[in-house]
Amino acid sequence: MSNKTWLITGTSTGFGKSLALFLAKKDDVNLVATARNTSKLDYLDEFNHGQILKSTLDVTNQQEIDSVVKQAQDTFGSIDILINNAGLGYFGTFEESNRAAVKYMFDVNVWGLVDMTRSVLPVMRQQKAGIIINFSSIGGLASFPTLSFYHGTKYAVEDISESLAQEVAGSNIKVMLIEPSGFRTDWQVVHQIKHCQK
């Protein structure tokens, strides 16, 4: 059986890093691990078996998206599974939230996921196969105070994914949602503010 190629966004920390570490140990996996700063992917160096590609990717940068999709195809010949994991959290009441920070969160959580998916879909359509796994959240199913805008991003991810799933089913492409509850990752407001000041 030929190797499957997995492309994951945001593998520097949290869920993305855990997934990359899990997949890096498998000998039937080609892994495209991405991060805005690839020096944060040094943890993969111990698995230097030629099936891991580390690539620079900010999901708000269309040029970097196009480049990573091309690199994945040139290196491994396919993209079988895309995991749209990169995402930010932002805590704040509706009235007090910083508009620029919230807008940036939508750029990453919604538009980053959309742009990644739109760039990978032609590859999957051509393959007549593929799986897209989108990170939503319990926050895409239920709403709590101080998270209105985060919920907005994850509800968008939910409904975009559910509609897309029906549009691509005929090409043997599946779209899945992951809806975690609370996990102790770097997902927090300090993280978000840091990105906005970048």
Residue number with CB closer to ligand NAP (89 or 152): 89
- Non-local (6+) Cβ contacts of 22 within 8 A are none
Nearer to ligand NAP, 125 or 195 (CB): 195
Closest CA to 116 of 89, 151, 82: 82
CB of 178 to ligand NAP, least distance (A): 8
Degrees to nearest 5, angle at CA 77 with 50 and 9: 70
Q: Is 150 a catalytic residue?
A: yes
Say whether residue 183 binds ligand NAP (CB under 6 A): yes
**Which range touches ligand NAP (CB under 6 A), out of 19-27, 47-55, 94-102, 175-183?**
175-183
| Region for residue 135 given its phi and psi (left: phi exceeds 0; alpha: psi -120 to 50; beta: otherwise) | beta
Query: Could you say whether residue 177 binds ligand NAP (CB under 6 A)?
Result: no
Residue closer to ligand NAP, measured from CB, 10 or 130: 10
Say how many CA atoms lie within 13 Å of 19 toward its Cβ: 24
Instruction: Collapse the DSSP code of 1 into the 3-class scheme (helix H, G, I; strand E, B; otherwise coil) and give the result.
Output: coil
**Cα–Cα distance for residue pair 88/149, rounded to 1 Å:** 11
Among 12, 97, 136, 137, which one carries the catalytic annotation? 136
Residues near ligand NAP, by CB under 6 A: 9-10, 12-16, 35-37, 40, 57-60, 85-89, 108, 112, 135, 137, 180, 182-183, 185-187, 191, 195
* Catalytically annotated residues: 136, 150, 154
